[in-house]
Chain A
Amino acid sequence: MDVVRLDGVSKAFGAVRAVDGLSLSIRQGEVLGFLGTNGAGKTTTIKMLLGFFRPDSGRLTVWNGDPCEPATRRMIGYMPETAYYYPYLNVRELLAFYGGLCGMPKPLVRTRSDELVERVGLAGAGSRLLRTYSKGMLQRAGIAQALLHDPSLLILDEPFTGLDPLARIQLRDLILEQKKLGKTVFFSSHELSEAELICDRVAILKQGALVWSGTVHDVAGDGQQNLERIFLKMLGDVARKEAP
């Protein structure tokens, strides 16, 4: 079953076409890596999936529903790229706030918060205000808030940015754990090696259009190919110039 479905979705901001006729679907229980250079349209696509704005044309559904409707978003957990949260709250208060927004009763929020604070490795810093957290710790708090209401679809925007190697491994394990639980994960990233390790399928976006989509098995099957080579090939000169 398709959890997310985009059919010919386009979005322009003035003269700039951020997303151009994008068609893509994500099946239940799948981990999909959404790759592309800066400005390729990844974040715009994610914002449309979260119902922040509607596409100019095309059709976009999440669990066959309109993500602009709060009921559809009940099934989505989202972690933004830049993890800035309320600096005057501690992580438990932050989760209590988001739990309230999800309409979760207090005892349930407390139980879930305890589990998640422990799971993301913030138990020792549970009473510290978020303004004292490092970037990696804020990312962990971000993951905890995304998982709080036990969503069936996780949308993660550049989740590996700014994480140290240990935190990367923990996040990778957490994503794979969600997959085992039957959850669907959609994440955007520049981290090709991470995508190769955890994704079932990869979609590469260039100037708002889908230029390649395939399984990690497709990549691994060709002895000469790896995801980095495919990425560079698909993005052509633009990617070569940007590659270090």
Chain B
Amino acid sequence: MSVRVLQLKALAGLSVLELYRRKDLIVVFVLSAVILLPLALFSPFGLSGASRYVNELALLLVWLFSAVIGLGVSVRLFPPEFESRTIYPMLAKPVARGTVLAGKYLGALAASVSALAVFYLAFGLLVGLRQGVWFPMILLQAFVLHVGFMVVVTALGLTGSLFLTPSANLTVCGLLIVGMLFFGQRLPALAAAQPLPGKCALTVLHWIGPHMEFFDLRQRVVHDWPALGWGVCAAVLAYAAVYAAVCLALARCVFDKKRF
């Protein structure tokens, strides 16, 4: 195994181990229970509309909780290292700053995606038990694109963690992510209806903001619509990869210049 791989493994493993040791995993299971509760308790008596409503609610919770976990893990990647000065012995080792950044990012992503997998597994099992449909293709695609969402969320959180305190970073990234998820698609229309300064701001946001709505297949899952073509999924995942790469490149510039 190459030195770089060993270094990435050590850095990523530390983030995952932290998730376990800080009891963050308990939060994941509590959140899963919150997601499952409406599904388990609500009895739609065969009314398909009501089932869909409950599924939609559960998926909305999956989205919100996954964003909370992705941001919760990534915004804490660097500030505790700076505060407790563990960054000094880390950077004194023969490891490049770019590797530190990449390792931390991979760790946050692995931790977030493992929590997401628990959510989807719970959702898929409950839907299967109640409706007899076991893990349809569209649910698999929803999970895959949701991983793309986590790729972007953790990259944003990590980049912010080099500039901002965890609470400020959580607020800024949270507003951006939720705002883009719910209003990203409508930004051009909103921009067109604004006077010039607002129009410019919304147009800029449309072009540089992360289009989280690309990753959202909730409606397709809830209404049992046909699965997407895998080419479309690949294109959306490529968008996530490029967006995350740009964020990480920006983070690299900041981290390289940062004086400790």
Which residues of A come within 8 Å of B, CB atoms? 47, 50-53, 70-74, 76, 78-80, 82, 84-86, 88-89, 93, 96-105, 129, 142, 145-146, 149, 155
Q: Which residue from A51, A52, A101 sits with its C-beta under 8 Å from B10?
A: A101
Chain B interface bracket (under 10, 10 to 19, 20 to 34, 35 or more): 20 to 34
Provide the bound-state CA to CA distance between A164 and B85, in Å: 23
Most chain A beta-carbon contacts within 10 A, residue among B17, B91, B92: B92
Known: A53-B259, A100-B10, A142-B89. A71 touches B94 (CB 8 A): yes
Known: A80-B85, A85-B86, A93-B17. A103 touches B94 (CB 8 A): yes
Closest to A53 in B: B259
Known: A53-B259, A82-B85. A102 touches B93 (CB 8 A): yes
Question: What residues of chain A lie closer than 8 Å to B1, measured between beta carbons?
Answer: 105
Query: Does B17 lie within 8 Å of A101, measured CB to CB?
Result: no
Q: Which residue from A50, A70, A84, A105 sits with its C-beta under 8 Å from B95?
A: A70
Query: Does B96 lie within 8 Å of A70, measured CB to CB?
Result: yes
Within 8 A of A (CB), among B1-58: 1, 3-4, 6-7, 9-11, 13-14, 17-18, 21-22
Known: A88-B22, A97-B14. A102 touches B88 (CB 8 A): no
Closest to B88 in A: A80
Write 6 A-B pairs (CB below 8 A) sorted by A numbering: A53-B260, A70-B96, A98-B89, A100-B13, A102-B95, A142-B89
B159 to A: closest C-beta gap in Å: 21
B204 to A: closest C-beta gap in Å: 34
Shortest beta-carbon contacts, A-B, top 9: A100-B10, A103-B3, A88-B21, A78-B92, A74-B94, A101-B93, A70-B94, A84-B84, A73-B94
Question: What residues of chain A lie closer than 8 Å to B89, measured between beta carbons?
Answer: 78-80, 85, 98, 142, 145-146
Provide the bound-state CA to CA distance between A82 and B18, in Å: 21
Closest to A99 in B: B10
Question: What residues of chain B lie closer than 8 Å to A51, measured between beta carbons?
Answer: 91
**Dominant secondary structure of chain A at its interface with chain B:** mixed
B1 to A: closest C-beta gap in Å: 7
Within 8 A of A (CB), among B245-260: 259-260
Provide the bound-state CA to CA distance between A173 and B17, in Å: 35
Which residues of B come within 8 Å of A, CB atoms? 1, 3-4, 6-7, 9-11, 13-14, 17-18, 21-22, 84-86, 88-96, 259-260
Query: Does B9 lie within 8 Å of A100, measured CB to CB?
Result: yes
Provide the bound-state CA to CA distance between A51 and B260, in Å: 10
**Dominant secondary structure of chain B at its interface with chain A:** helix
Question: What residues of chain A lie closer than 8 Å to B6, measured between beta carbons?
Answer: 100, 103-105
Question: What residues of chain B lie closer than 8 Å to A100, measured between beta carbons?
Answer: 6-7, 9-11, 13
Query: Does A52 lie within 8 Å of B86, measured CB to CB?
Result: no
Query: Does A52 lie within 8 Å of B260, measured CB to CB?
Result: yes
Question: What residues of chain A lie closer than 8 Å to B91, measured between beta carbons?
Answer: 50-52
Question: What residues of chain A lie closer than 8 Å to B14, measured between beta carbons?
Answer: 86, 97
Query: Does B93 lie within 8 Å of A47, measured CB to CB?
Result: no
Query: Does B11 lie within 8 Å of A101, measured CB to CB?
Result: yes
Question: What residues of chain A lie closer than 8 Å to B18, measured between beta carbons?
Answer: 86, 88
Closest to B23 in A: A88
Provide the bound-state CA to CA distance between A93 and B18, in Å: 12
Provide the bound-state CA to CA distance between A70 and B99, in Å: 11
Query: Does A73 lie within 8 Å of B93, measured CB to CB?
Result: yes
Closest to B92 in A: A78
Provide the bound-state CA to CA distance between A100 and B3, in Å: 8
Q: Given A89-B21, A100-B7, A102-B95, output 16 extra A-B contacts at Cβ < 8 Å.
A: A53-B259, A70-B94, A70-B95, A73-B93, A78-B88, A79-B89, A80-B88, A86-B86, A88-B18, A97-B10, A97-B14, A100-B9, A100-B13, A101-B95, A103-B6, A105-B6
A89 to B: closest C-beta gap in Å: 7
Question: What residues of chain B lie closer than 8 Å to A76, measured between beta carbons?
Answer: 92
Question: What residues of chain A lie closer than 8 Å to B85, measured between beta carbons?
Answer: 80, 82, 84
Question: What residues of chain B lie closer than 8 Å to A146, measured between beta carbons?
Answer: 89
A141 to B: closest C-beta gap in Å: 10
B15 to A: closest C-beta gap in Å: 11
